[in-house]
Structure 1
Amino acid sequence: MKALTFHGKGDIRCEQVPDPQIQHARDAIIKVTACAICGSDVHIYDGVIPSMEHGDVLGHETMGEVVEVGSGASNLKVGDRVVVPFTISCGECFFCRRGFYSGCERSNPNHKMAEEMWGYSPAGLFGYSHMLGGYSGGQAEYLRVPYADVGPIKVPDGLTDEQVLFLSDIFPTGYMAAEFCELKGGETVAVWGCGPVGQMAIRSAFLLGAERVIAIDTVPERLALARAGGAETLDFLGEDIYERIRDMTNGRGADACIDAVGTEADASSSLYARIDRIKVAAFMGTDRPHVLRQAIQCCRNFGVVSIVGVYGGFLDKIPMGSAINRGLTFRMAQTPVQRYLPILLERIQNGDIDPSFVITHRAGLEDGPDLYAQFRDKKDGCIKVVLKP
């Protein structure tokens, strides 16, 4: 089958790889009908994510048609249309039973690698390094889905692939970011990053009761899409974000701040942002946390900082003194997608939101390598890429 594979920093290829096979009774094989390039895939493209190997199949936003089912996945049948969560979860362990599917204790066969880095291992993920299981991803013609009796959600008739594809990751992630803000109605939420997750967070914040959303980015197309969703926008290259948010909130700060950027924040004019770039380039640091610092400083006393941007390692110069002395609450996670699927599918069915609004580019797998570069470089108005094998 054809698939997008990793061969080093900046080197993504569309090539032939072996077809996936049933390996366990709870497996299923799907024929991929739509998949997407995620912002966190760009970290792989940029060589930031450790333990990637040449030939690894990429992708974790995937849906398709079931073509083969193991004997232990009796909830599925051949012909079902399903969306596959990016988190691989057993459904039976301590964390899965409590709804924390992204903390699954059983789905990462390489858990010892993750434990060396993070203390404990999270769940295995599709197409996202050997430290997180080494599972082949879904930017391919076919995908093997472990624990298929727990993960995939069936798509009701009448909904298109593009309406539901983002249930796999970015819609639950953006919704979780807004849910973390503990909205009760009438709040002001600031969102850093108007990429796909940020766009979902903006709209989710309004769905959950926010009165105002302030969206921060510098790409004109992203800012325009945020405004179309009801947000007020700030350009971080043209404005002092801290001072502008103070002014917009009568000197108090935002009730909640969402970091939807993560490890590869673009450098602003601040000294710390420039230092981040230098340290990462010199292999003296792992992440560029400028956005997180700014979100902490812009959050009001006793507010919430919600973190859904991906960080991989150790962060420098985080203003913990500010957070502690002002009573901030931090909420963060890899999204336990399965927890949100029924709620968000119902939102789509009810017409509360159509997540396809974020799509700007559609193509086949063979165009994937060029679109990785285009998406990373934010060229041609590229906000979200959907690939149809």
Structure 2
Amino acid sequence: MKAVTWQGRRDVRVEDVPDPRIEEPTDAVIRITSTGLCGSDLHLYEVLTPFMTPGDILGHEPMGVVEEVGSGVPDLSVGDRVVVPFQIACGACWMCLHGLPTQCETTQVTGEGMGAALFGYTRLYGAVPGAQAEYLRVPQAQYGPIKVPQGPPDGRFIYLSDVLPTAWQAVEYASIPPGGTVAVLGLGPIGDMACRIALARGAERVFGIDLVPERLGRAGRRGVHTYDLTVYDDEKALVTAIRDAIDGRGPDAVIDAVGTEAHGSTTARLAQRASTLLPRRIGAPLAERFGVDRLGALHMAIELVRRGGTISLSGVYGGTADPMPLLTLFDKQIQLRMGQANVRRWSDQIMPYLTDEDPLGVTDFATHRLPLADAPHAYEMFQRKQEGAIKILMRP
């Protein structure tokens, strides 16, 4: 089959790889009909290369049709149409039963000290072959796949794999009070969808911050109060402008949908890049143990949120030696929540929004739909924020 493989920093290729097959009774094999390109994939393309191996199959946002089912998967049948969550979880361990499938005790990558295995996401998360391919082996298929109706286009449901539950959890963790306010840092796919969900769930005002005109315009058309970072002399001026719009107090919550590749942190950017250029046996331990994140977005969130408010992190951070302004966090009595999205915890709550009325605008959420063969171009375009690329779907 054809699959998108990682070959090095900023080097992905579409290659022939072996077809997947049933290996355990709880496996299924699906034929991919659509697969997403995620901002997290760009971390592999650019930052987390010390944890990759040439030939790794990328991708973790699939939907498709069941082709084969193991004997331990009673609720799936050949021909079922499914969306597959990005994490692999059993649904039966203590963590899964307590709504934390990202911490699944059956699939935890204990050798790396990490949580549940993920599709297509480095050796830290199990080096499981990913979903930017023609076919996908799905472990723990007795729990993971979400069956969806036949008929509506893939764009109605594919975001259940990652974008929708990640944005939903970001809003849930933000604890926005009824009629409250929230600022969203970064209006890429997750930030954009978090804005939509916050408005749909009753936030009075949503403030969106970015520096890409297409992203700002897209969010503004859906009722978000947008702020262009590039028109302010510094971040403090932007913080003041938003505070002034909320009685000088600041929003009840801030969602950081940017993460480790925040704009403007030159030293951290150079440190990240240096780790990708070192030999893997040296670069990987350095990146894992002494990684330096670009914390501009997080620091802005801490400055911006009102006293007693909540910060919700959905952007991925990877470093372990980062300076945190703990005094400010303590003094402002800020609540801080974060983590990979627990997809199956939220999927039943999200499904009622995926109706013909389409209140979240999922049907036209993708800005680009490309064949899988164009994956190298898709990665470059998305990484460089070219051609208005905000969300890209690929079809094998």
TM range (shorter): over 0.9
Residue 374 of structure 1 pairs with residue 366 of structure 2: no
Report the counterpart of residue 283 of structure 2 in structure 1: none
Report the counterpart of residue 226 of structure 2 in structure 1: 233
Render the CA deviation track for 1:17-56: whole Å, top value 9, x for unaligned: 0000101001000000000100000000104254211100
Residue 301 of structure 1 pairs with residue 300 of structure 2: no
Matched-pair contact (CA < 8 Å) for 2:195–2:206:
yes
Looking at structure 2, the residues matched to 333 and 106 of structure 1 have their Cα atoms a distance apart, in angstroms, of: 18
What code does the residue aligned with 2:110 have? H
Looking at structure 1, the residues matched to 248 and 325 of structure 2 have their Cα atoms a distance apart, in angstroms, of: 20
Report the counterpart of residue 270 of structure 1 in structure 2: none
Residues 227-266 of structure 1: pairs in structure 2 closer than 5 A: 227-239=220-232, 240-266=237-263
Query: How far is the alpha carbon of 1:180 from its aligned partner?
Result: 1.1
Change (3 A) 1:254 1:304: same
Matched-pair contact (CA < 8 Å) for 1:171–1:200:
yes
Looking at structure 1, the residues matched to 165 and 363 of structure 2 have their Cα atoms a distance apart, in angstroms, of: 14
Looking at structure 2, the residues matched to 279 and 368 of structure 1 have their Cα atoms a distance apart, in angstroms, of: 28
Matched-pair contact (CA < 8 Å) for 1:276–1:290:
no
Query: How far is the alpha carbon of 1:285 from its aligned partner?
Result: 3.8
Matched-pair contact (CA < 8 Å) for 1:65–1:81:
yes
What code does the residue aligned with 1:379 have? Q
| Superposition TM-score, scaled by structure 2 size | 0.92
SS in 1 for 2:59: coil
Structure 1 unaligned runs (5+)? 116-120, 268-272
Report the counterpart of residue 328 of structure 1 in structure 2: 334
Identity of aligned residues (%): 45
SS in 2 for 1:87: coil
Residues 1-389 of structure 1: pairs in structure 2 closer than 5 A: 1-48=1-48, 50-108=50-108, 110-113=109-112, 115=113, 121-239=114-232, 240-267=237-264, 273-283=265-275, 285-314=291-320, 316-349=322-355, 351=357, 352-389=359-396
Looking at structure 1, the residues matched to 372 and 106 of structure 2 have their Cα atoms a distance apart, in angstroms, of: 31
SS in 2 for 1:134: coil
SS in 2 for 1:324: helix
For the aligned residue pairs, the C-alpha RMSD in angstroms reads: 1.4
What code does the residue aligned with 1:193 have? G
What code does the residue aligned with 1:307 have? L
Deviates more, 1:378-387 or 1:228-237: 228-237
Looking at structure 1, the residues matched to 269 and 352 of structure 2 have their Cα atoms a distance apart, in angstroms, of: 42
Matched-pair contact (CA < 8 Å) for 2:47–2:272:
no
Query: How far is the alpha carbon of 1:282 from its aligned partner?
Result: 4.6
| Superposition TM-score, scaled by structure 1 size | 0.94
Report the counterpart of residue 280 of structure 2 in structure 1: none
Render the CA deviation track for 1:253-312: whole Å, top value 9, x for unaligned: 111000001010111xxxxx3333344345574321110011011000000000000111
Structure 2 unaligned runs (5+)? 276-289
Deviates more, 1:242-251 or 1:83-92: 242-251
Report the counterpart of residue 287 of structure 2 in structure 1: none
Looking at structure 1, the residues matched to 69 and 335 of structure 2 have their Cα atoms a distance apart, in angstroms, of: 44
Render the CA deviation track for 1:306-327: whole Å, top value 9, x for unaligned: 0000111225332211110111
